[in-house]
Amino acid sequence: MSKKSKSTTTNDPSAYAKGYITPAANALQDTYKANSGNVQSMADSLSGAFPGLLQQATTQSPLMGAANGYATDVLSGKYLGQGNPYLSGMIDQTDRSVSDKVNSTFGAAGRTGGTQHAAALGQGLADAENGLRYNDYSNERNQMMQALGQAPNLDAAKYAGYAPALALAQTAAGLPMQNAGQYASGVGGLLGQYNTQTTTQQQSPFSGLMGLLGAGTSIASLFMKPGGTH
């Protein structure tokens, strides 16, 4: 019948270290217990604020509504052509300036009212107006291109509020676990290096007999003379 034997290996801290480890572990536990309620209260407060922040994240702000409306108007071409309320005023002002210049030129030469005078005046007015309208059109097309470049950012801004809402939810859910994890880590750092190991060995009943036989053979060899005689 086989027999079992046990051996135990213990790795205990020194008496000097125990004097510091035990109070430190107790301090960690006391601190954890004292702050658990506060941590849970903060987590509850953050959780309570989450619905309001989520509502804010899913509701378009007036500022974003105005920005989206303006970008939509620009991209639709609302301000092209006659959409500029100041264009006609600029044309009238330029027409007066061109007329004064042409009339002054022909008047100084004594040629006012002739065919050439009328042609020059018409050409000058047409060139000036076309130039103003072209510049207005070109500027508005540039504004349209800028609005087009901003469109992705404006569209993405609709979801900008979700990130802080999710961060708040994660923080609220993680505070209690973080508090417990810090406590566990602190205790583990103090006590994790110390352990007790127990091993079990199974011994055959013949092992003792074989050991005796081996010892007897060794003793007998001491009395043997060279050549095998005794």
Residue 228, in any domain of the structure: no
When divided into structural domains, the chain yields a total of: 1
Residue 230, in any domain of the structure: no
Q: What pLDDT is stored for residue 209 in this prediction?
A: 47
Q: What pLDDT is stored for residue 172 in this prediction?
A: 82
> Greater confidence, 25 or 207?
25
Instruction: Give the lowest-confidence range in 114-128, 162-176, 181-195.
Output: 181-195
Query: Percentage of residues in the chain with pLDDT exceeding 90?
Result: 0
Residue 170, in any domain of the structure: yes
Instruction: Give the lowest-confidence range in 26-30, 184-188, 191-195.
Output: 191-195
Residue 153, in any domain of the structure: yes
Residue 102 exposed, middle or buried by CB count within 10 Å (0-12, 13-18, 19+): buried
Q: Could you tell me the residue range of the domain that residue 188 belongs to?
A: 3-222
pTM score above 0.75? no
In 3D space, the residue among 13, 66, 72, 49 whose CA is nearest the CA of residue 164 turns out to be 49
Residue 203, in any domain of the structure: yes
